[in-house]
Structure 1
Amino acid sequence: MTGHKPDFADLLTLDSVDRDIFRGLCHAGAPMRAFGGQVAAQAQVAAGRTVDPDRRMHSLHGYFLRPGRTDSPIVYLVERIRDGRSFTTRRVSAVQDGETIFSMSASFQLPRDAEETHQLRAPDVPGPENLPRWWEPIDEAPEFRPFLLIDIRSSRSPAGRTDGSRATDGTGRATGSPEAASAAPESTAGDGMPRQNVWVRVDQTLPDDPLLHVCALTYLSDLTLSSTAYLPYAGLPGRLDIVSLDHAMWFHRPFRADDWLLFAQDSPSAGGGRGLSRGVFFNQDGQAVASAIQEAGLFRR
């Protein structure tokens, strides 16, 4: 594919329409459907534009209510819920053609030092420099042009399973026969959860704006998280559609989204047509910098 790479920051750029009202456009994901990670990240940008710059976003909780389209602008309406001495709260509604397609609450905090600290240990996986780029369709399909700004690396599980992970062929699809796939939940080692570990980063240098890096990580998290719940069923007959229902994130420590981050993901449950996935981002020093949880609809055709 040839042509000029756009700046990743352009994907999150919003126009100011009025006080607490912003407007943005989304690139194509599924045919004519806006990529949910971009909608959530733009909503974060809108919220952050109404908050003092010395405050840092530490959490968000969002619901995907309707699919967004790529041929019409999205308007972001920000409500100023609270401005406290330490914490600031905002609510954002993403509206397209008069209908709310996404709703989010976000909380910001004035940074402070605290003695209390503990964190999950990072899994022992190969580093990104020893792994191939993972999502080959990114390089082949024109509709994924914006994803050329993203680098994703994945360790390919050997036949069988490692640390309870589902064996994959490197694209998220399960290896082996449909019969083996159907038996995977029962034969998975340990606690029975499907797992995947991927290294991600924005594949260009970003400005030193902490809000941009937080929003970029939300964008990155939506690329692979819901597919974790899908892993045990990938080899079964028929087509399984995955639709994000809600998304929550917590930001624990400073990080840069243009540095390699390990996204360790698992899925503790799937049932009732919904799959729950969760993940923790680690920097290359092994520090847990952010957590994410998402529930997605799993619909077989």
Structure 2
Amino acid sequence: MTARSVPAPAPADASLVALLDLEPLERDLFRASTVFDDPFPLYGGQVAAQALLAAGRTVPAGRVPHSMHGYFLRSGDARRPTLFRVERDRDGRSFSARRVVAVQAAEVVFSLSASFHDREEGLDQQVEPAPDVPAPEALPPLEMPRLFSFEARLPPQPHERSWPTRFWARCTEPLPPAENGGELLHAAVLTYLSDIMTGLSPLATGGFRPTTSLDHAVWFHRSARLDDWVLVDLAGRTTGGGRGWYTGSLTSRDGVLRASIAQESLFRGHRPATAFAEERAPVWRE
């Protein structure tokens, strides 16, 4: 993809795969050149997913991500191309460690540490069952307008708050099978989805609410198909010192835990009551 000299609005049928695409410039240096008008800062899930893809393109064949930890350092701009520089920290017998910085206008906007693992056979256990919710086909739509190529459904919520913390979602664009080398892309699409909501809405009280994401982590326990329905379930854990922390799970339709999420965000009382809702702009309707 080539960068547009004048950013255009994202079309309704924009392709997520094209958005995440990276152009290799030289060894360990990539560029994301698809740009578009967006009234908000660069979506964190986008830059995190692209950084994970950049890291994954430098590891030995067959190694897939098992964890990623990212820090949102500056507000990015969807109207600018982003450079991704990868550091090859280590390649062991079965693990590879990578660090990535995402740069816009000569400033680092995001940094990532990621680890990749050769898939192994082992004891497979899941302690907690998936939340018991209706199938997505029986539920009303949940609009997530910042996401390319996604649809979502709204199940009953575990609390009465403005922002849902539990939802079904799937990528509407066909993705390659994980077993045919597509597992990295599915993990990137999962990462892209994982930052769209917050688990801190039940803790928003007394004029305090979550604002900017500070850091984000994903653990990839099992392969996940993101062009099939997955259930995202988020839960606020604690607030203090101007920050809030939540965790989450992502399970497939068969109830299998595919990934776990954790994020810390600013949690302050200085912004207008509608600021966060306007930034994320989720809408659900009967």
TM band (smaller chain) = 0.7 to 0.9
- Unpaired runs of 5+ residues, structure 1, are 139-143, 158-164, 174-195
Aligned to 2:274: none
2:278 aligns to what?
Answer: none
Does 1:54 find its partner at 2:58? Answer: no
- The range that moved more, 284-293 or 4-13, is 4-13
Structure 1 residues 148 and 19: alpha-carbon distance in aligned structure 2, compared to 1, 3 A threshold? closer
Q: Normalization by structure 1: what TM-score?
A: 0.79
1:45 to 49, 53, 58: 53
The answer to whether structure 1 residue 214 and structure 2 residue 183 are counterparts is no
Summarize the Cα distance change of 1:216–1:148 in structure 2 as closer, same or farther, 3 Å threshold: closer
Of 132, 135, 153, the match for 1:127 = 135
Answer yes or no: is 1:71 the counterpart of 2:79. Answer: yes
Letter of the 1:91 counterpart:
R
What is the one-letter code of the residue matched to 1:172?
W
> Are the structure 2 counterparts of residues 197 and 29 from structure 1 closer, same or farther at C-alpha, using a change threshold of 3 Å?
farther
The Cα of 1:73 is off from its aligned counterpart by: 1.5
User: How many equivalent pairs are there?
Assistant: 257
Displacement of 1:29 in angstroms is 8.3
Q: Give the percent of matched residue pairs that are identical in Structure 1 and Structure 2.
A: 41
TM-score (norm 2): 0.83
- How well do the aligned residues superpose, as a CA RMSD in angstroms? 2.2
Q: Which has the higher helix share?
A: 1
**Runs of at least 5 residues in structure 2 that lack an aligned partner in the other structure:** 1-9, 272-286
Q: How does 1:220-239 map to 2 (within 5 A)?
A: 220-224=193-197, 226=198, 228-233=199-204
Alpha-carbon distance in 1 for matches of 2:222, 2:11? 36
Cα 1:270/1:29, change in 2 over 3 Å: farther
Partner of 1:172: 163
Q: Does 1:276 align with 2:259?
A: no
Q: Which 10-residue stretch deviates more, 287-296 or 92-101?
A: 92-101
Counterpart CA distance in 1 for 2:255 and 2:212 is 31
Alignment CA distance shift 1:266-1:26 (3 Å): farther
Deviations 1:89-134 (A, max 9, x none): 1000111111111111100001110135334211111111111111
List per-residue Cα deviations over 1:141-198 (Å, max 9, x = no partner).
xxx4xx25111212244xxxxxxx2214xx617xxxxxxxxxxxxxxxxxxxxxx321
Check whether the contact 1:26–1:35 (CA below 8 A) recurs between aligned residues. no
Please say if 1:94 is aligned against 2:102. Answer: yes
Partner-residue secondary structure (3-state), 1:276: strand
